Amino acid sequence: MDVSKYALDGEWIEIEVVSDRMVELFRFKVQPIGSTGFMAASKSPDEVTTLCVEAVIDWNLTTGEEPLPCNAENKRFYLSRFATYMVKTMNGKPPAQAMNLAGAIVGFAASPDSFLKN
């Protein structure tokens, strides 16, 4: 495989979710996690959260006006709480099938096509 065709340092993804009857837009920089993510549907919520923590390398989350550090502790805490929010759009397009935030992140990170350079 010619890895020069891929952005291995990660790609930004915008995910619009519905939470508590509100619509929120999250931006995550995601790195490839390999094919293990394709089997996420059969994994426990803790295993899916672990894959999300591995995949997300930056984000736009804030507490008020302050940026929230994208460290392992914060990723585990916040991604586990947002994991079940239902995705409305990914990069401006509705998903082909219903999915939650965790599934969207893991699916994006596990797909080599997500990281093809333009």
pLDDT > 60? residue 38 = no
Q: Would you state the pLDDT for residue 36?
A: 55
Which pLDDT band, with edges at 50, 70 and 90, does 48 fall under?
A: confident
**What average pLDDT is seen over the chain?**
85
Separation CA 37–CA 29 (nearest Å): 16
**Per-residue pLDDT tens for 52-63?**
999 999 999 998
Separation CA 16–CA 88 (nearest Å): 5
Give all strands (DSSP E) within the chain, no chain letters: 11-19, 22-30, 56-59, 62-63, 66-67, 86-90
Q: Which of 22, 76, 23, 6 is nearest to 47 (CA)?
A: 76
Read off the tokens for 61.
């989350």
Domain residue spans of the chain = 3-115
Please answer whether residues 41 and 113 qualify as being in contact, where contact means their C-beta atoms are separated by less than 8 angstroms: no
**CA atoms within 13 A of residue 23's CA, in its CB half-sphere:** 7
Angle at 70 between CA 68 and CA 74, to 5 degrees: 80
pLDDT > 90? residue 11 = no
Read off the tokens for 18.
């519905």
